[in-house]
């Protein structure tokens, strides 16, 4: 297993449970990939990269007994708290009726529309759910295999009505902005929905394919398979990968850290092992890569082992991650304008700062030009309000996801402008938390370049490739190799670059392991 990210650890645990001998090789000194808990300053920990649990597959949680191995999640309520003007906050409560009542004070018609749309979204997301834990339709299938794929697709969607089919196609191909403009009148409610779209995605809300994120975030997650689940992980997101590692070790998985894989060894079209940066070689019959497709096929596999057309297809995958992170250690909880200081800690732990739909489109366009906007999309989480294991009593931790920053800057370099980005984000948050600047004891800024260097994410893309229709389902990573197998026999993809894509789901690892077992005739 190349890489101990959460999908690699998921695949490793499933394979070991089926009786295979599994060795996981991790380039860093800790396991977890981009699902880790690390220190900002000594004694002050936070989820450094991925930072909120929403789509971890219930099947994976149950099969691998993650609760037994220490995983504890606390459901969020509200699911979202969106900052409007300083002092004004709109919340998406877990109870749709409660959320609608809050919206009713803004626009009564939008409150009724919210209940109708939320129900419709959950129904459509339920149709997509089964596809997350099985291979996508195989567009390269032939003969009887092609007939089997058609039958599988038919059975999955046999309950879809004509209108629902149209809605599903609309979400997969249409724009979020057009959908929201059609159903809602108030900018406030549109911004609430904008806050729940796919983070880390290229392009603005008025671009084709930008609506699909609403469905992804309403899939079932958590221990109890709650649709639209979102919550905090006690101990930070690293607790997920620690539980996965413990589950694997219980069944014999061996995990080696500080073991950078330099090359996947291939002879006569078959993977036969790996070569480490140390010079050591390890022979095996099967290799799974948790690295993204570009790193796997353009860096780890020698060029002469792959057809040029395939390498060209991989090189064309849109990456250029548009995301950054800011992790803060604070002397205490900051004051949020417009929020009751006595509110439930789960409510106080969330604040998403988003522009209008038009504003989001503008900053997406600026990102495409290589510019850093003065108004960014910033998702703030203060997990220490729910989890007192992260820092000393009285202190606070904040982690901020930043959307629409360019991988390639038009002017300067990220090494030169890293702290400039951090300063700008703090200023923007301070409009809603005026005392924040004076509370900061330590901070770490992760630019797209840092995500690439430290966590091995090519071009800083947290999803191993943009989530657009041309790079989803049967197109991921290419139509001919969407079934976790690759052109190299015995080499499989198990990371987010394979179906169903990014997010801390465990689904690609689960599906890749099942494919390996099918190919070996194992249950």
Instruction: Give one DSSP letter per residue of 227-295, joined into a string.
Output: ET--EEETT-THHHHHHHHHHHHHTT-EEESS--EEEEEEETTEEEEEEETTS-EEE-S-EEE-S-HHH
How far is C-alpha 344 from the geometric centre of its chain's CA atoms? 27
Other Cβ atoms closer than 10 A to 177 = 21
Structure tokens at 347: 């409510």
In degrees and rounded to multiples of 5, residue 403 shows phi and psi of: -110, 145
For 461, left (φ over 0), alpha (ψ -120 to 50), or beta?
beta
Residues in the chain, overall count: 523
Q: How far apart are CA 396 and CA 441, in angstroms?
A: 10
Looking at residue 468, its pLDDT comes to: 82
Query: Cα separations (Å) of 201 from 213, 232, 325, 372, 414?
Result: 9, 22, 15, 16, 20
- Domain ranges in the chain? 1-38+48-76+230-318+473-523, 97-227, 323-455
Q: Is 48 helix (H, G, I), strand (E, B) or coil?
A: coil
DSSP letter (8 states) at residue 136:
P
Residue 83: beta bridge partners?
89, 353
- The burial class, CB within 10 Å (0-12 / 13-18 / 19+), for 298 is middle
**pLDDT of the chain along its 523 residues, tens only?**
999 999 999 999 999 999 999 999 999 999 999 999 999 999 999 999 999 998 899 999 999 999 999 999 999 999 999 999 899 999 999 999 999 999 999 999 999 999 999 998 888 888 788 888 999 888 888 888 888 878 877 777 677 776 777 777 877 788 999 999 999 999 999 999 999 886 777 789 999 888 887 877 777 677 777 777 889 999 999 999 999 999 999 999 999 999 999 999 999 999 999 999 999 999 999 999 999 999 999 999 999 999 999 999 999 999 999 999 999 999 999 999 999 999 999 999 999 999 999 999 999 999 999 999 999 999 999 999 999 999 999 999 999 999 999 999 999 999 999 999 999 999 999 999 999 999 999 999 999 999 999 999 999 999 999 888 888 889 999 999 999 999 999 999 999 999 999 999 999 999 999 999 999 987 6
User: CA dihedral in degrees (381, 386, 392, 398; nearest 10)?
Assistant: 0
Query: CATH: 3.90.1150.10, 3.50.50.60, 3.30.70.2860, 3.10.150.10. Which one for 1-38+48-76+230-318+473-523?
Result: 3.50.50.60
What is the reported pLDDT for 467?
84
pLDDT at 198: 62
Q: Which residues have a Cβ under 8 Å from the Cβ of 179 and sit 6 or more positions away?
A: 170, 171, 211
Provide the pLDDT for residue 469: 80
Contacts of 434 by beta carbon, 8 Å cutoff, 6+ apart: 335, 337
Q: What's the pLDDT at 20?
A: 96
Predicted pLDDT of residue 220: 65
Cα–Cα distance, 186 to 263 (Å, whole number): 54
- Pick the closest to residue 222 from 391, 94, 49 (CA basis): 94
Q: What three-state secondary structure class fits 143?
A: helix
* Predicted local distance difference test score (pLDDT) of residue 174: 85
Specify the pLDDT at position 523: 67
Query: For the purposes of burial, counting CB atoms within 10 Å of the CB of 523, is it exposed (0-12), middle (13-18) or buried (19 or more)?
Result: exposed
Helices (H) and strands (E) in the chain, counts: 17, 20
CA distance 170 to 148: 26
pLDDT (0 to 100) of residue 109: 97
State residue 215's pLDDT score: 79
């Amino acid at each position: 297993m190349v890489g101990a990210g959460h999908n690699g650890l998921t695949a490793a645990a499933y394979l070991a449970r089926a009786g295979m001998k599994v060795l996981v090789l991790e380039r860093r000194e800790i396991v977890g990939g981009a699902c880790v808990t690390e220190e900002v300053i000594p004694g002050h920990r936070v989820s450094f990269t991925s930072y909120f649990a929403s789509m971890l597959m219930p099947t994976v949680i149950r099969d691998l007994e993650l609760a037994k191995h220490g995983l504890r999640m606390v459901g969020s309520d509200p699911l979202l708290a969106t900052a409007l003007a300083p002092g004004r906050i709109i919340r998406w409560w877990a109870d749709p009726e409660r959320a609608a009542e809050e919206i009713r004070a803004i626009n009564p018609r939008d409150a009724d529309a919210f209940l109708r749309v939320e129900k419709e979204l959950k129904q459509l997301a339920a149709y997509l759910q089964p596809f997350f834990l099985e291979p996508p339709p195989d567009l390269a299938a032939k003969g009887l295999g092609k007939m089997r794929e058609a039958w599988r697709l038919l059975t999955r969607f046999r309950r879809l009505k004509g209108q629902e089919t149209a809605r599903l196609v609309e979400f997969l191909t249409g724009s979020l902005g057009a959908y929201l403009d059609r159903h809602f009148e108030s900018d406030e409610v549109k911004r609430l929905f904008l806050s729940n779209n796919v983070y880390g995605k290229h392009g603005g809300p008025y671009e084709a394919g930008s609506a699909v994120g609403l469905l992804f975030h309403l899939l079932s997650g958590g221990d109890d398979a709650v649709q639209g689940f979102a919550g905090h992980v006690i101990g930070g997101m690293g607790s997920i990968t620690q539980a996965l590692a413990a589950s694997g070790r219980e069944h014999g998985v061996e995990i080696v850290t500080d073991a950078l894989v330099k090359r996947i060894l291939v002879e006569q079209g078959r993977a036969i092992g790996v070569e480490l940066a140390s010079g050591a070689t390890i022979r095996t019959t099967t290799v799974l890569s948790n690295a993204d497709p570009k790193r796997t096929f353009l860096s780890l596999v020698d060029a002469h082992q792959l057809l040029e057309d395939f390498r060209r297809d991989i090189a064309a995958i849109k990456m250029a991650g548009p995301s950054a992170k800011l992790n803060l250690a604070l002397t205490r909880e900051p004051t949020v304008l417009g929020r009751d200081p006595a509110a439930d800690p789960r409510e106080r732990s969330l604040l998403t700062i988003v522009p209008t739909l038009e504003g989001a489109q503008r900053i997406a366009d600026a990102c495409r030009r290589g510019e850093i906007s003065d108004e960014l999309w910033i998702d703030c989480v203060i997990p220490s309000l729910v989890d007192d294991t992260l820092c000393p009593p009285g202190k606070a931790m904040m982690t901020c996801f930043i959307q629409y920053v360019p991988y390639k800057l038009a002017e300067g370099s990220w090494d030169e402008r890293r702290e400039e980005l951090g300063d700008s984000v703090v200023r923007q948050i301070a409009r809603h938390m005026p005392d924040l600047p004076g509370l900061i004891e330590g901070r770490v800024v992760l630019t797209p370049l840092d995500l690439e260097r430290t966590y091995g994410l090519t071009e800083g893309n947290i999803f191993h490739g943009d989530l657009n229709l041309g790079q989803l389902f049967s197109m991921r990573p290419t139509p001919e190799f969407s079934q976790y197998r690759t052109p190299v026999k015995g080499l499989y993809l198990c990371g987010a670059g394979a179906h169903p894509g990014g997010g801390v789901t465990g689904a690609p690892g689960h599906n890749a392991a099942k494919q390996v077992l099918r190919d070996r005739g194992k249950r």
